[in-house]
Structure formats: C-alpha cells, structure tokens
Structure 1
Amino acid sequence: MKNTKKGIVVTLLCISMLIQTGCWDQKIYERIGFILQIGLELDQDENLIYTISIPIVSPDVEAKVDVFSTPINTLREGREEVLHVSGKSVEGGKIQHLFFSKQLAQKETMNFFDVFLRSSENSLLPNVIVVDGSPQEMMELSSKFPSKPRPSYYVNTLLENARRNFYVPETRIYNFLSSVYSNTIDPITPLLRYNDHEIEVAGSALFKGDKMVGEITTTETGLLHALMGTDGRIRYKYYQQEKQRGIEVAKEGTIVLIKDIKRKLNIDIQDIPKIDIKLDLTASIDEYTDGYNLSDPEEKKRLEAAIAKSIEEDCLILLKYLQEVGSDPLGIGEMIRSKHNWYWNSVEWEEVYRKVDFGVDVKLKVEFFGAIY
C-alpha cells in the first residue's frame, strides 16, 4: 500500500515537472529594451535612417526614453545595430508607432512591412503615421519635452483625441496593408508636425497604393469620413458674409456638430461613370454668432440650407483633389469592380477615376441649437 502511494506521488511529481513552465527563457524587465516607436527617413544622401525609442525604467536616470539612430538597409539590420550599443535585449512586441518621413512615404513604404509580416514577435497593431519633417528629430525633441509625458503616451493621446473628432483616421499596419493589397482602396494615415515644444496633429496623408501622393487638413479629413459614411461626430465650420436685416455682418461663423451621418451612393455606368453621393446629416449648433433668429423656423431652414450648400461645395473640392492626386480612399474602384465587373475589366481604372463625374447632395437638420432659445 505504501509503495502504491509512493508511486502515485512520484508519478504526480513527474507530470507536474512536465507541465509546469520553467525559467530558462525568462526575461528580466529591467534588462529588456521595449521598442515603442520606430522612425524611418532618408538623409541628404538618400541613405535610410532607422530611429527607435526605448523607455527608461531605471530610477537612477532622469531621462524618459533612450533614442537610437543608425543608417540601415533593412529593419532587422537596424535592430541588430541597436543591440550593439543599447546594453539591453531589444524587443519589438510593444511597438506602438511606425513613423515615415513625408519624403520617404512619397517614395515607398511596402518594403518596410515585411518584418512585421514574417515575425510573430512583431504585432500588426502599430499606428502608421507620416511626419512632416524628420521622425528622428521629432523623437529626440519629444523625449525632452519638460511638460509632456513619455513620447509614446503623448502621441497616443493626441491620436485618440483626434480620432474621436475624426480629425485623423485610425490606421494600423494591418488595415494599411489590407488597403494596399486590395488595389482598389487607397489607405490614408495621420499626418503629424512638430516644433521645439509640442507635436501637432496636422491632418491626413493620402496614398495611392503604398506611396503618399497628397495631404488634407483636419477639417477635410472630417468631410472625407462623412463621404465614406463613417458613423461618428464631426465638427464643421461655416462662415458667411452677407447683409441681414440691413446690417452688414462681418464674417459671421457657425460651428455645427454633425452627430448622425446617413450616406447613399448611386453609380451610373457610362463612358465616364457618374457617381452621386447623398448625405443626410443630423447636427446641433456648437457655436453661433448672432445672424439668424433660430427660434424662427424659416430662418432656421435658411441656415440649414446655407450650411448644407457649403458642405456640398467643400466636398466637391475635396473629391476633385482626390482625383487630381489619384487617391481613392472612398473605395470607388472597389465598388465598380464588385458591382460592375464587366466595366471594370474594359477600362484602365486609374485613368477613368480622374474623370469621374461626382455629384454631392447634402441635407442638414439641426435638432438642437442651445438652451437659451
């Protein structure tokens, strides 16, 4: 009986040893350098510069992050170069931002995603961002901002707030690549600028495939989201100068918060397709300088019609610009390919897209304009 019990105990211990995790591959936090940001750019001689930021966790060091830069040919080579000087085991599983300089983004981007697709260590969740300037300089400056948090957290906060108001898109590696590989929907990414004391959300970078071809402001990004039928809250600034009640109104302004967007899109296939986009918008007045008496239903309708007309005009200007640069973030090409494949196969879409006849019809309803009315 005793031998039987001993046998059971030994068996259980052996099983426990087999299933319990060991510490042969343990990683000591203080000895690891987690890459949080990667910057890629070209120097004056067209050499590729790789920059990374790693948070400092030592209580003996006042700096927030270490920033390392090196010329490279591939991303993996850059990681190896950093290992030679960082004194830590550099890990890439926590990368949050992948910065491209505007100069590099206008040349190529796809070659730099290969390491993310091949290595399970690297997540496909980092934000893809274009920097108007040098990512290296921005990362070095932001590491020393006295009144800002750690650079990665600082940029994350900027992006979260900007995305909430649809000033920029949310573009991760996985959806950037999905758009590029589709060949029918072009990606867009956030565009950042910086100076000696802060980083600024400047708008969005437009791509044709994997190359940047243009840029739009935060206001235009909001309109682009509306044209895409994105559900969310978008602010629109309306300005008008006219005579009201015999008084010259100097550049009066109204800011509306668009809270509900319903989009209908109609495609009429001809030699040159005609595409009509209808937007049914519900909004509230966010800020208003006295011009119309909004408690009067007729004057309220006049303001709604005026803002709707202004949105229509701005949308048409935006669509014309997208055609000029050849970027199709709305996925018009994908709609043509999927619904009118016979036409898609009969034309060179890139050429036809630049000639598409767009029409925009906007209906705006203001449901709330302030408690004082």
Structure 2
Amino acid sequence: MKGVIKKKIERIIIVFIITTLSSTIFTGCWDQKIYERVGFILLLGLESSKEKHKKLLVTYANPAIGLGRKNQVELNVQEADLLRQAREIARTKASRPLEAGKIQEILISKELAEKGGIHDLLSIFSRDPLNPALADLVVVDGSPNELCKKSILFPDKPRVGIYIHQLLEAASKDSKIVESRIYNFDTQYYAEGLDTIMPIVKLETNSVKIVGSALFSRDKMVGNIDVKQTTLMVAMREKINRAAEYICKVPNIEDAHSNTKSGIAFTIKDSKKKINVSIDNGKPNINIKLKFRGMIDEYIWDSMDKEEKYREVQSNITDELKNECINIIKYTQEVGSDPLGIGDIVRAKHNDYWKKVNWKEVYKTAQVNVDVKLEILNHGLIY
C-alpha cells in the first residue's frame, strides 16, 4: 500500500516539474495589434516622381475608421528610393501605424512598367512573409496617385481599394482580364518560356475603366491589347469556363444590316484549347486548336433557322475568331512577349533545341497556325 502511495506522489512531483519547466523554457511573445488602432493598407500606387533626382512616388490608401463618414479613405503619399523606406516615412504622418498585410491591389504606372525592373521593385513582397502574395498587379494608364485622389470622391462607389478589387474580380470572371497576382508574376518571371499579362485600367470622369491588358517580356511592359483581344487571349492561354461576351464585326454580313444595327453579339459559353509545337527545318511550328461553344444574343432578324443561313453565319464568326487570334499572336511576336507559354512547351518537349537557341529571337519568326471550330448552341427563343 505504501509503495502505491509513493509512486503516485512521485508521478505528481514529475508532472509538477515538467509543467514548471515548460512554462519557463517555452515562452513566447504576442505581438498584439488591435484592428481599430491599425491602418491597414488596401491599395498601393507606384510611379516615378517628377523631381530632378528620380525617386518612387508611393501612394498608400487605407480606410479611415472612426471619422463618422461612410467609405472615408486616408491617403499617404511619399517619395522614396525603396518601398520599405516610403512606408516608414509615411508612418510618421499617418493617424495609425500602417501595415501592408492586407494590400489587395498594387497599381503601377504605365510609364514605370515600360522602364522595366518591376521584379526588383517588388522584391519586398517576396522577402517579407507579412506582405500578401495574393495582391493583384495592375498597370495604370496615367498616374496611380491621381487615380486614388479622384476615386475617393466618387459618390456612388465604395472605398477605392475595394472598388478596384471588385472591378478586377468581375472582369476576371467575364474573361476580360487575365488574373495577375504577386505569386503569378514571380512564377512567370522565373519561367523563361512564359511571360506575364497584367490588366490595364484608366481613370474616367466618375469611374475607373478596364481598357485592356499589358504584355510583358520578363518584367518589362512591351505592348498592350484591348479587352476584346484579351478574351481571346484567355481562350488561347487557359480556357473560358464562364460566359464571355464577344462582339463580331463581320464585313460581308454588315452590308445587309440597317444603319441602326451592325455586327453580331455572340456569347462564348466555354472554350477548349490545344497547343502543339513541332520543330521543322530548325524553326518552331506552332499549331493552336480552339473550340468555342456559344449562343447568338443579338443580330438582325433573318432566316437563321435555315441551314444555309446558319452555316453562313457560323463560317463568318469562325473566320473572325481565327483571324483575330492570328493577329494577336503575330503582335506578341513583334513585341517579343510570349504570354501563351509557347517557350515552356518547347523547353519541355524539345529540350535539346531549346538549349541551342535564343528563344526570344526564335519566337519572333516562328510559324503560327490557328484552327478554330465553332458550335452555335442556339440563336434565340423566337425565330
């Protein structure tokens, strides 16, 4: 009996010692940050300053909480050589300590993007784990600072950071832009056979408008395409999973239209793509097969229920889609951007050839063939 009691006492003593040592050795710290006392940056704007000694002009936009007015935004503008330096200086002016962990968008001026060096500029987002890798990268046709200043005055829009985020989210779902986040950009920067695409926005009188996409070679903007072309770029680069509107301007059909209506409104319900690359006589031969399915939403009243007319419309839309895709690819070759990742296919399937050539130069003269198939699911409830 005494032995049992002794063992229990020994166990209690051991547990007590372990607990005491654990609380002493395994100590930690709690970096508490109360939401109401922190200025969470939602949007970051980057452009070149107008001073003689060129520096960065950095704009921070964060919610101004507690001022009693809806959608109030606090803007902090600072010139600096580094992003971290700009934030530290801005902290000396802001009403709350600024934190970058909730940044949703990074707006880069077109002028700055065309200079190149974007990867080095944004290196802090790859080095500091507190900075968000999910932030959207956006090119601004104009000044990000001006866009922020005027956007906070829009009477019918939410806070500028939330407004731009919702704008990009909706456009991405409609296949009007290609999603470009920090982690996408970093991955594509290090992939020698794949280049980045970023959305381009522009400030208008009472809104911000998506005007197209910026094409990059490594981390330098080298060209741009419009929204309509971006939809086809999405189809060739990825695939369209949700309905996307496409307006066709078919010359030989428009001649029969009235003065008040021309063209065809076509909804692309979905698309599939297949890209094959062969090496013929030392040059890459690119073959792209695309299949679209969709519906005709708007068109003149005619005899679409007749097989002959149906085939005519189908053929004309198919030809336009094909020609537009070819023109887009030729343009990317001219500016030296490979957004479809053709180089990655060559590197994976023709690695010996890849090692022998300078892909950026070879891509410019590659032969491109596009084959498009179109299935019109329906052309209206009444016909």
Instruction: Flag whether TM exceeds 0.5 (same fold).
Output: yes
Unmatched tracts of structure 1, length 5 or more: none
Maintained 8 Å contact 1:229/1:261: no
Deviations 1:148-167 (A, max 9, x none): 11111111111111111111
2:237 — aligned with what? 228
Deviations 1:268-325 (A, max 9, x none): 212222212111211111222224x111122111111110001111111111111111
Partner AA of 1:43 in structure 2: S
2:185 — aligned with what? 176
Could you tell me how far 1:44 is from its partner in structure 2?
Answer: 2.9
Q: 1:24 to 1:289 in 2, by over 3 A?
A: same
Unmatched tracts of structure 2, length 5 or more: none
Which of 132, 136, 140 is the aligned partner of 2:149?
140
Could you tell me how far 1:260 is from its partner in structure 2?
Answer: 2.2
Q: Does the residue aligned with 1:219 lie in a helix, a strand or coil?
A: helix
2:288 — aligned with what? 277
Q: 1:86 to 1:284 in 2, by over 3 A?
A: same
Q: Distance in 2 between the 1:21 and 1:260 partners? A: 55
Q: Distance in 2 between the 1:62 and 1:304 partners? A: 51
Q: Distance in 1 between the 2:238 and 2:193 partners? A: 17
Q: Distance in 2 between the 1:165 and 1:62 partners? A: 29
Could you tell me how far 1:43 is from its partner in structure 2?
Answer: 2.4
Q: Distance in 1 between the 2:310 and 2:27 partners? A: 69
Matching of residue 64 in structure 1 with residue 72 in structure 2: yes
Which of 42, 45, 48 is the aligned partner of 1:42?
48
Q: 1:280 to 1:70 in 2, by over 3 A?
A: same
Partner AA of 2:88 in structure 1: E
Q: Does the residue aligned with 1:87 lie in a helix, a strand or coil?
A: coil
1:263 — aligned with what? 273
Could you tell me how far 1:360 is from its partner in structure 2?
Answer: 1.0
Matching of residue 128 in structure 1 with residue 134 in structure 2: no
Q: Distance in 2 between the 1:247 and 1:362 partners? A: 25
1:30 — aligned with what? 36
Matching of residue 97 in structure 1 with residue 108 in structure 2: no
Q: Distance in 2 between the 1:156 and 1:35 partners? A: 13
Partner AA of 1:67 in structure 2: L
2:362 — aligned with what? 352
Partner AA of 2:368 in structure 1: F
Maintained 8 Å contact 1:304/1:366: yes
Q: Distance in 1 between the 2:151 and 2:24 partners? A: 48
Q: Distance in 1 between the 2:191 and 2:256 partners? A: 55
Matching of residue 321 in structure 1 with residue 327 in structure 2: no
Which of 200, 206, 224 is the aligned partner of 1:197?
206
Q: 1:199 to 1:8 in 2, by over 3 A?
A: same
Deviations 1:102-144 (A, max 9, x none): 0001112112222111112112010011000011111111112
Maintained 8 Å contact 1:206/1:215: yes
Partner AA of 2:342 in structure 1: I
Partner AA of 1:156 in structure 2: H
Q: Distance in 1 between the 2:123 and 2:218 partners? A: 16
Maintained 8 Å contact 2:71/2:158: no
1:289 — aligned with what? 300
Q: Distance in 2 between the 1:332 and 1:13 partners? A: 60
Maintained 8 Å contact 1:242/1:248: no
Could you tell me how far 1:14 is from its partner in structure 2?
Answer: 6.6
Matching of residue 303 in structure 1 with residue 313 in structure 2: yes
1:156 — aligned with what? 165
Deviations 1:210-236 (A, max 9, x none): 011111111000011111241323322
Matching of residue 84 in structure 1 with residue 92 in structure 2: yes
Q: Distance in 2 between the 1:18 and 1:55 partners? A: 41
Partner AA of 2:192 in structure 1: N
Q: Distance in 2 between the 1:86 and 1:78 partners? A: 12
Single out whichever of 21-30 and 86-95 deviates more from structure 2: 21-30
Matching of residue 106 in structure 1 with residue 114 in structure 2: yes
Partner AA of 1:319 in structure 2: I
Maintained 8 Å contact 1:315/1:360: yes
Single out whichever of 175-184 and 222-231 deviates more from structure 2: 222-231
Maintained 8 Å contact 2:202/2:210: yes
Maintained 8 Å contact 1:39/1:52: yes
Partner AA of 1:32 in structure 2: V
Q: 1:351 to 1:220 in 2, by over 3 A?
A: same
Q: Does the residue aligned with 1:106 lie in a helix, a strand or coil?
A: helix
Q: Distance in 2 between the 1:117 and 1:264 partners? A: 33
Could you tell me how far 1:173 is from its partner in structure 2?
Answer: 0.1
Q: 1:210 to 1:231 in 2, by over 3 A?
A: same
Partner AA of 1:123 in structure 2: P
Maintained 8 Å contact 1:37/1:54: yes
